[in-house]
Structure formats: structure tokens, C-alpha cells
Structure 1
Amino acid sequence: MNLPTPPERALPDRLRRWQAVRVTDLPLELPGYEHVYSGKVRDLYAPVGDDGQVVPDRLLLVASNRLSAYDWMMSPEIPDKGAVLTRLSLWWFDQLADLVPNHVISTDVPAAVAGRAVLVRKLEMLKVEAIARAYLTGGGLEEYRATGAVCGVVLPEGLEDGSRLPEPVFTPTTKAPVGEHDLPMSPAEVEAELGAEVAAEVSRLTRAILARGNEIAAERGILIADTKVEFGVSPDGSGGLVLADEVLTPDSSRFWPAAAWQPGRTQPSYDKQFVRDWLTSPESGWDRHAGGPPPELPARIVEQTRAKYVEAYELLTGERF
């Protein structure tokens, strides 16, 4: 569903420093909701009760059409991206329900954000980016080439770009402020942040989510190379870990066509790696290390990116978008 673009609004300071070009939808005016936060691609709103007070244990999570790469917000936005991420996350939450509870309460949301928003439980989010890898590529490959390990996990010798790992490994990073780089964390650093028991459970669940994802996706012609998930806990400390934000989407994961998988080279993908590859190609003319903002995405790159997101959704779910 394509929604009309709201009037341009001032960009919050925390986003302005990594903005490539103007953004037009921060924040929306949603009757009955109060804007509380905007991240790279998602906006949070708090429901307001009939008494005018914010409902303390609920949040409206809105997925925008924004796309970020290399810590820059791209322009223009990717049509329907927010709806794809929302619908795919809801589908995956169902597939993972026996592994871990999730934060979704309802999809009954304001009409202005219908299809790309969910009402969720408000959680205390863990200050660790939970990442698991089933295949070696990206930043993990760079670290492996330098040290033979990723986040303290020693890997076999002789691995290449795209090599399948013997089993999924947990390779967490810091959760840096918007506009700054996440940094790899060792097991000891994760334990110091979360405590040994919670750290072990985060590692177990993250690897289990990726393993389950690959069991399902492989039957549909997709390999999930790696993924990032978010966990939270109830503010009162009751219950265990809760899966939050998004899960196993083209934004949080690397999706590869199984039939084209070939270790030793960059893999074709269904995710935003497609945009990263264009940005670092001679065609874009952009030097990501020079400090300046990237160029606008050409119309064909925008169209092809949308098509890749939709194709991944349709292959995985078996549903037409």
C-alpha cells in the first residue's frame, strides 16, 4: 500500500548527522499517539489513553520505507519496504513461536500506518546486538581474515567469502548510538553487559532462530547467511527473553539465492547488500571513506531493490505481496 507523503518536518538532531538527504516522514501526526523515538528505519509512538495519559506498557512500532547503508540514510526511499518488513516479521514470529515469545500484541493500528505497523509490548531492550552467522561474509569475513576468528569464536582455516560454517556462531556487537559504528563484542564483554546466564540464553536463542530460519528458507530456495535480532525483557523483570523489533527480514539478514551460492565470491542477494554493492561500485562515484554523503539512488536501483524485497517475501511465505 502506497501512502501519501506527509509534509516535511524537522529531522531530530540524533538523525541529522547521518542523513544523506532530506527525510519527509519524521514524525507522522497520529491521533491518539505521541511520537517518542525515530531510529534509522523505525519510528515509535506511545498510545495515549482517554485520560490524556500515555499508556505505559504499549508502543506502536512503525516501519518506514527508509533504507540505511554504511551509516547513511538513502534517498529516495524504497516503496512498500515498511509493509514488506512488517508482514514478513509477522510471518516469521509465527514460525518461531515455539522457540521464543515475541512482543506483538495487535495489528489493529491507525489507518495512516496500516500494513506497516504493529502494537507491541514495551520492553527493556538488551544493550547488545544479537547476531548469528551461518555463512562467512561481510564484516565477519574481514575479521576472520585478520584474526582467524569472529568475536572471539575461532573458525576453521581456509574459509572464503560465502563459506558455510560448521554450525551457526554467535557474533554479537555493541548497540552504538545512531550514526556510530557497532563494534564486535567478545563473549566476556557480553557476559559483563548481560550477566552469564542471560548472555548464554541470548547466544542460544539467536543461533536457534537462524538455524530454524534456514531450515524453512532452504526449502524455498533461500540461504540466510546471517541475521541480527533484538531481545528485551519485561520492565518488571518477570518472564524471560522476548523477541522484539523485526526478525529474519531483508534488512536484518543476508538472503542469498540457494541455486546461485558459490563460495569464493560475492553472492547475489535479496537484501540491501544490493544497494551497498551499487554504492561501492565505480558507477556511483562515491568514496565511502571520504566522509561525504552518498549520491541519490537511481530509479532502477530503487525499483530493483523493491523487487528483491518483494521477491524474498513471496518466496518465503508463499503469498503474493
Structure 2
Amino acid sequence: MSEIQPIREAVIPELPNYYRGKVRENYDLPDGRRILIATDRLSAFDRAIACIPFKGQVLTQTARFWFEKTADICPNHVLEYPDPNVVVGQKLDILPVEIVVRGYLAGTTSTSVLTMYKQGRRDLYGIRFQDGLRDNEALPHAVITPTSKAFDGGHDEPLSPDEIVGSKLLTQEQWDTVSGYALALFARGQDIAHGRGLILADTKYEFGTDRQGRIMLADEIHTPDSSRYWFAESYPARFAEGERPESFDKDFVRNWVAARCDPYNEPIPEIPDELIAQTSQVYIRAFETITGQAFEAPAGQEPPVDRIRRNLARYF
């Protein structure tokens, strides 16, 4: 694994209108297309803390699997895949609401239903949750728990459908469309995941509008970074014992860093190669389990950024 060159950045001067995201390099072409290059950066604690070999390829190709499996449900931004780490899509105006769909009472963030439920709250996101639910328990049906999308680096805030429409974040028609798409996408995802021995517990979607105002799915779908997957076989016993469900544990690096410093205010210590390699293997395993496909690393010794530049030359 030490000989593999992770993609730390993919800055290609020949491409116009560069924007650096947390893990993706973005380029906007004059004709309304956007090039998104997934690097191997691992973002945590509000910064990139490491590079995980093949992470960008895993996320791009997992999303590709799901975009293709759900294209009959909802239009998406994808136009083509010129490289294993690259998607070319339509540039969209991203809607200011992040759509999170949950099938289970789970989560650790301040906006997760489990966190708020354990604080004693029962009316959440415009939904009344019953008493007596346990950590990681299946909900009676999938629910949407939308949040405001913090474009300026602020914090996401919980929203109800009435708040979304009342504050004109979305029109009623837009809300009806995205909520319908989201529940249908999640149902498809749960069904396919079940066939792979997995539980898709929750996920998030981003939607945008094209130049004609048509709502389309953007960004990624059902990847290990945007979704919570559990292993179905061990879930019943673990739930009965009150244990955390078995999942793709990608947090080796995050946990190692958090145990050794204040990652929000102190320098990040040098991360051992072994942890980087472990995390890379977890991402590859996730891709293969979710999609049922063998992971294929790019052949040859060409540096990955040189390969990406070569594959994108026709866009210069």
C-alpha cells in the first residue's frame, strides 16, 4: 500500500473555473457542464486530515452504481465518466435543503433523531415519534428529516416541511417532488442493499435544478460517506443486546486522531501507514459488498493525476 500514490489534489490548470471542495476538485465549463474529480482526501474535524488510497475511486464508482440503478426513479446530473475518479455532470443550482432519509432511530450528530430523541424530544422535523423506541430500532416507516444546507460554513439546522415551504426555501411543488424522489430512492436502496446482506439505515441526498428548473439528483448517492450501512446478519442479535450494529468501520483514522489531540485546535499528529492502509481496505470492501462488483485499481504505473489529466484532455 505504501507504493500507491493517493490523490491529494487534482489541480489541472488547463480546466476553467476551479473550485476546491473538501474532497472534490470542481471545474465549471462554459457550456454548463461541471467536472468533479474525487480526490482521496479524508475530511474530518473541519479539515482534510489524511489521504486514503482509492477512496475517491470507491466513492465515484459506488455512486455510479446507484445512479444507474435509480435513473428510472429520478433524473440525475451525470453525463459521463471519463476516468475512475471523475464524473462530468450538468451544473445545477443546488437547493438549500439537505434531504436526509432515515429508516432507523440512529445517529450521533446534534441533528440526528436519536440524539434529540434521547434528550426527551418527540416532535422532530414535523414528525411525532412514539415513546419507547430503542437505539438503532427500525422506525415504522422511513421518514425524511431535512436540514438547512449551510453554504457559508455555518451549522445545518433541523427543518419541518411547513418551515421549508413557509420560509420559501422550496415551493410546495418542489418539496413534494424532492420528498417523493427521496423516499423512492431510499426504498430502492434498501431493497438492493438487502439483497447484498446489508441494511441501508439512513442516507442523505442533495437535489438541484437545471437551467429549465427541472429537479435532479446531484453530488453522490448511497456511498459509504453519505449513508449508514449495517450488516443484516448480525443486526438482530446486536440490537437485542443493546450493542451498536456492525458496519463498515471507516473511522480508524478519525478515532486515532481524536484520542491524541484536540483536532479542532491542535496540529494533527503523523498518522501511521497501517491505519491508512486499513481504512483503504474498508472502503474497497464497502464498494465490493454494496455493488457486488470486484474493485479494479487502475492498471499501469502512470501517476494518477497524470492519468486524470490525460483522460480529461478533450475538455481543455
TM-score (norm 1): 0.80
Alpha-carbon distance between aligned partners in 2 of 1:3 and 1:59, rounded to the nearest angstrom = 28
Q: 2:205 aligns with which of 212, 224, 229?
A: 229
Cα distance, 1:86 vs. partner? 0.6
User: For residue 126 of structure 2, what is the aligned residue in structure 1?
Assistant: 152
CA–CA distance in structure 2, aligned partners of residues 82 and 177 of structure 1: 23
Q: Deviations over 1:252-277 (max 9, x none)?
A: 11111112223333223226455555
Once the two structures are superposed, residues 41-86 of structure 1 have per-residue CA deviations (whole angstroms, 9 ceiling, x without a partner) of 1121123xxxxxxx231110111111223433222x1110110111
Q: In structure 1, what is the Cα distance between the partners aligned to 2:221 and 2:253?
A: 20
Say if 2:24 is the partner of 1:46: no
Gaps in structure 2 of 5+ consecutive residues: 296-316
Determine the C-alpha separation between the residues in 1 that align with 2:155 and 2:197: 32
Q: Counterpart of 1:133 in structure 2: which amino acid?
A: R
Map of 1:104 onto structure 2: 78
1:215 aligns with 2:215: no
Shift of 1:179: 4.4
Question: Residue type matched to 1:56 in 2?
Answer: D
Query: Does the 8 Å CA contact 1:250/1:271 hold for their aligned counterparts?
Result: no
1:80-95 superposed matches below 5 A: 80-95=54-69
RMSD across aligned positions (CA) = 2.4
Q: 2:227 aligns with which of 253, 257, 278?
A: 253
Task: List gaps (5 residues or longer) in structure 1.
Answer: 7-23, 48-54, 109-113
Give 1:201's aligned residue: 177
Provide the C-alpha distance between the structure 2 equivalents of 1:166 and 1:295, rounded to a whole number of angstroms.
44
Q: Report the CA distance shift for 1:155/1:72 in structure 2 as closer, same or farther (over 3 A).
A: farther
> Residue 245 of structure 2 aligns with which residue?
267
Distance (whole Å) between structure 2 residues aligned to residue 230 and residue 38 of structure 1: 18
SS at the partner of 1:194?
coil
Separation of aligned partners in 1, 2:210 and 2:251: 34
Q: Among the aligned pairs, what percent are the same residue?
A: 40
Match of 2:260 among 262, 277, 285: 285
Q: CA deviation at 1:117?
A: 0.4
Mapped pair 1:125 → 2:98? no
CA distance in 1, matches of 2:49, 2:222: 21
Structure 1 residues 224 and 149: alpha-carbon distance in aligned structure 2, compared to 1, 3 A threshold: farther
Letter of the 1:232 partner, please give it.
G
Stretch deviating more after TM superposition (222-231 or 139-148): 139-148
Q: Pick the aligned partner of 2:32 from 53, 57, 76.
A: 57
Corresponding letter in the other structure for 2:174: V
**Is the 1:103–1:120 contact (alpha carbons within 8 Å) kept by the matching residues of 2?**
yes
CA contact (8 A) 2:251 2:279 kept: no
Q: Which residue of 1 aligns with 2:305?
A: none
- When normalised by structure 2's length, the TM-score is 0.81
The 1:275/1:159 distance shift into structure 2, 3 A limit, reads: farther
Using the alignment, how far apart are the partners of 1:160 and 1:115 within structure 2?
41
> Residue 132 of structure 1: CA displacement?
0.5
Cα distance in 2 between the residues matched to 1:300 and 1:279? 14
> In 2, distance between residues paired with 1:137 and 1:70?
21
SS state at 1:107 partner: strand
